[in-house]
Amino acid sequence: MTTGTPGRAARAGRTQTVAARLFAWMRQRARHGAIQGAACALMLAAMPSAHAVYAIAQYGEPKYPADFRHFDYVNPDAPRGGTLVLANPNRLTSFDKFNPFTLRGNAAPGLGMIFESLTTGSMDEVASAYGLLADDIRIAPDGKSVTFHLNPRARFSNGDTVTAADVKFSLDTLKSPQSAPSMQAYFSDIVRAVVVDAATIRFEFRTNNRELPFIAGGMPVFSHKWGLRADGSRIPFDQLAFEQPIGSGPYLIESYSNGRTISYRLDPNYWGKDLPVRVGTNNFARITYKLYSDDVARLEAFKAGEYDALVENVARNWVRRDVGKRFDSGELVKREFPQHNGTGMQGFVLNVRKPMFQDVRVREALDLALDFQWLNRMLFYSQYTRLDSWFANTVFQAKGLPSPGELALLDPWRKELDPAVFGPPPVQPDTDPPDSLRANLLKARALLAEAGWTYRDGALRNAQGQPFAFEVLDDSGGASQWAPIMAQYTRALARLGIRVDYRTVDFALYQKRLDAFDFDVTTIRFPDVQVPGTEELDRFSSKAADESGSGNLIGLKSPAVDAILKALVQAQTLQQLLDASHALDRVLMHGYYVVPQWYSSTHRVAYRNTLAYPAKLPLYYDATDWILSAWWFKPQPATPNPQH
């Protein structure tokens, strides 16, 4: 779900850690879609089949039959050619490596086009996985292993056949200490990969978890030769920088310059171009990324015609700044594309490792101080909806009173949990009449007093006389669009006696501090989740709270949450998954660990009029990925030769 804030344009789609970026990428490759509405009634809870199949679905059956020609949302006759130029896909302003799987440094944008996985998902159905590198999939009757047979045509960019040994090497490397630390957690329930023969690989699981075949299938596969020197010695994986990756994807790195630009070219020998999951995709002969120093420079560069498409996450920009002579002439086009993604969570993240945020009453008071209705009316052109769940816009959002299945998970922890958890989910504060910000701040002041914070000597202080003050860490460079949001929020907090220091740093330092959990408060967009799964362990488990670079920025350590997470990842039926997700949502929302922000139900895209896209839109998609995979350049009429 597209979210965003003024001044937060590039970052609205940015995930917060190395692990989160990888999880989002791998989950998208492995499966796509969300379980929505009446579709739930069609879901089956049967154990996985033991026979080899071309595709799997986590619940129910794949949409496309074994003999399908292409996905419905692509144009199988799309012409190929041209150079697509894009800008920074996030706040990244420079890169210093081609290895996206390690913690240190900044990986170049677009590297996902180099690496294939065993399976890939579609963008218009419930969580599914279709063969890519693999041409069939066999899930064991007990659900504790999955076996993939490799397509004999699959090749790496160096011409080598993709083998089971390469797949095993990829898993072993990604689980090793040389990869980003949280990779070990993500793949922890895959005990091992076993080479059955040169073209067959079996993944053995620690538990019977319906998501694990998707995690195994979505794992990026790279050649064991990546990092080998001419003398046969190997560069340690965590020291790979600008060594050319050896993947099996459709694109190759063609050139790069100064860590600010990188170009990819379509591999003329790409082995998978005729696969049903690839027909109608990868239509650009070249893709170039230009990295601009800030949001303003990036927007002005687009309006000047320096690149071809812009996914706009800032309402104010969309209405007031994505305008000019090229828009007036029709050279640049603006369109809002509907989509049905889960929203993810975007908000002010409170680091509960800090003593001042450890009382839930304090955290709720900070939520009461945000005047969303004013922001939406005055700054966002009423384009946003307030987030009220970690799984908003999906059936995994908790609503009403807990069901018997949810209570079975929550009841053992009644002594630990807030009694409010056993009631309806909290309603986000409102300031539209008859409500008001003043009334919300009075409630906040009372909560703070209950928590031991009272106003005296010009500040809100605790019993020891320490003032309530914290830093909001940001990397937007103080962009003017973001300033009014911070101004409104800090003014409201100042009325409570709370001092807020707003600090901006460059992206590299910002990422380093996040990885080390060295912050008080920051704004983050957690990646969208269509079907909650293993990524929730990285975000909320007690173990992840102590792992540098993990997604548990909150610092949450709760035995109750750990137990719910265990039930979530081990769910064997849709109902079990719903119960666990609802229970988790209730605990998180009543914990007020994040001051939720807002979301939009459309993708706002501005693009050059020479670009085209399929008539049928996908349902669950990231706009930039959709452009990269399914758009194309319109054929241009030939310029006649001058007569002499």
Degrees, nearest 5: CA angle 390-394-399: 70
Cα Rg for the chain, rounded, in angstroms?
25
Collapse the DSSP code of 616 into the 3-class scheme (helix H, G, I; strand E, B; otherwise coil) and give the result. coil
Rounded Cα distance, 469 and 460, in Å = 9
SS3 content of the chain, % helix, strand, coil (to 5): 30, 20, 50
Rounded Cα distance, 348 and 320, in Å = 26
Beta-bridge partners for 218: none
Q: Which residues fall within 8 angstroms of residue 397, CB to CB, at 6 or more apart?
A: 388, 389, 390, 391, 582, 585
CA nearest neighbour of 606 among 299, 289, 293, 260: 299
- C-alpha atoms less than 13 angstroms from C-alpha of 243 in its C-beta half-sphere: 19
Inter-residue contact 612 to 632 (CB < 8 Å): yes
Degrees, nearest 5: CA angle 417-595-361: 45
Whether the link from the prior residue into 434 is cis, omega within 30° of 0, is yes
Collapse the DSSP code of 500 into the 3-class scheme (helix H, G, I; strand E, B; otherwise coil) and give the result. strand
The type of residue at 178 is Q
Tell me which H or E stretch contains 303. helix 295-303
Inter-residue contact 100 to 107 (CB < 8 Å): yes
Cα distances (Å, whole numbers) of residue 254 to 261, 264, 265, 289? 11, 5, 6, 12
* Confidence at residue 365, expressed as pLDDT on a 0 to 100 scale: 98
CA 632 to chain centroid, in Å, comes to 25
Cα distances (Å, whole numbers) of residue 250 to 96, 231, 368, 504, 644? 23, 29, 49, 38, 43
CA nearest neighbour of 286 among 256, 258, 331: 256
Tell me which H or E stretch contains 584. helix 574-591
Beta-bridge partners for 522: 349, 473
Rounded Cα distance, 122 and 350, in Å = 35
Looking at the chain, the number of H-run helices and the number of E-run strands are 18, 27
* Confidence at residue 14, expressed as pLDDT on a 0 to 100 scale: 33
The single-letter DSSP state of residue 168 is H
Strand order in the sheet with 594-596: 499-504, 469-474, 521-526, 345-350, 594-596
Collapse the DSSP code of 379 into the 3-class scheme (helix H, G, I; strand E, B; otherwise coil) and give the result. coil
* Confidence at residue 111, expressed as pLDDT on a 0 to 100 scale: 96
Token couple for 228? 């080998």
- C-alpha atoms less than 13 angstroms from C-alpha of 379 in its C-beta half-sphere: 21
Point out the residues of the chain with pLDDT beneath 70. 1-51, 477-481, 638-644
Which domains, and CATH codes, for the chain?
Answer: 31-314+602-633 (3.40.190.10), 345-599 (3.10.105.10)
Token couple for 103? 């913690």
Degrees, nearest 5: CA angle 141-144-148: 80
* Confidence at residue 344, expressed as pLDDT on a 0 to 100 scale: 84
- C-alpha atoms less than 13 angstroms from C-alpha of 510 in its C-beta half-sphere: 23
CA nearest neighbour of 85 among 301, 279, 258, 313: 301
Cβ of 301: how many Cβ atoms within 10 Å? 16
- Expressed in angstroms, the distance from the first to the final Cα of the chain is 57
Dihedral over Cα of 3, 4, 10, 15: its sign: negative
Q: Which residue has the tokens 């750990």?
A: 562
CA nearest neighbour of 486 among 101, 476, 496: 476
* Confidence at residue 644, expressed as pLDDT on a 0 to 100 scale: 47
CA nearest neighbour of 2 among 620, 589, 538: 620
Cα distances (Å, whole numbers) of residue 239 to 119, 486, 592? 28, 39, 39
Secondary structure (DSSP) of 539-562: HH-HHHHTSTT-S-TT----HHHH
Inter-residue contact 527 to 386 (CB < 8 Å): no
